[in-house]
Amino acid sequence: MWPGNAVATRLFTAWLPYEDAASFLEVGCGAGVTSVTAALRGCSRVCALDINAAAVENSRLNAERHGVQDRVSTLKSDLFSGLGPSDRFDLVYWNSPYADAPPGHAYDSQLDYAVFDADYVMHQRYFADAHRHLTDGGRLFLGFSNALGNGSRLREVAAMAGFTGSVFRREVFSFAIDVPGVRTSDSETEVDYVLYEFRRA
Ligand SMILES: C[S@@+](CC[C@H](N)C(=O)[O-])C[C@H]1O[C@@H](n2cnc3c(N)ncnc32)[C@H](O)[C@@H]1O
């Protein structure tokens, strides 16, 4: 499963505005770092769901370890499919598998689901179904990288569901590529991590 100490996990977890939310839904919770943090930062009802059973169990154990099991529920679910129709949250968030893969990509492992979304089919479903699980005034977030993902396709699939994204917070890292035998035209490359907030027109 996705490691809980990834740079993206740390940044997005630090940036989310938990203080404005009583309830928090984390889609694709991985190790449960963000969900546990949401509970520790004051959200009184947290739901951590993932398509990967190992991630769900890991999140449950981490909620227990940090003493927030009374307010963090865990659920194995393909996006929102395991939720009830009346389950609504003030904050809905996914640190998504933003690497676009060609249509028909074969998912070989559970980790594949943490990294790839072929033609952004799952992103499409995230936007299409998210509004049913937002409270009035609820806020929708997505953790993303334009360097590693496909920003124009993201805008397209969000727009199909009537959503427009704006940058809530962003950080860019420059680093030197130093791989023996690999020639790069430029010795520096950049990776961005962006927390987007999406609103419906
Ligand atoms: C980039 S990882 C992020 C994990 C965790 N939120 C974090 O920040 O460390 C993406 C997560 O989304 C989950 N995921 C992918 N497709 C999903 C789906 N259709 N339904 C629920 N979770 C999904 C993956 O299993 C993975 O745990």
- Predicted TM-score (pTM) of this structure: 0.94
Quick one: pLDDT band at residue 179, thresholds 50, 70, 90? Answer: low
What average pLDDT does the segment 177-195 reach?
A: 72
Q: For residue 62, how far is its CA from the centre of ligand 1 (angstroms)?
A: 16
Quick one: pLDDT band at residue 51, thresholds 50, 70, 90? Answer: very high
Q: For residue 116, how far is its CA from the centre of ligand 1 (angstroms)?
A: 10
Beta pairing, strands 72-76 & 45-50: parallel
Residue 2 Cβ inside 6 Å of ligand 1? The answer reads: yes
Q: What is the CATH number of the domain that holds 150?
A: 3.40.50.150
State which of 1, 5, 16, 27 you would mutate to test the pocket of ligand 1, scoring each by most atoms of that ligand within 8 A of its C-beta.
Answer: 27
Would residue 165 count as lying in a domain? yes
Question: What is the distance between the alpha carbons of residues 2 and 130, in angstroms, rounded to a whole number?
Answer: 23
Full residue range of the structural domain in which residue 118 is found: 7-200
Asked if 59 and 2 count as a contact pair (C-beta separation under 8 A), the reply is no
Would residue 97 count as lying in a domain? yes
Would residue 2 count as lying in a domain? no
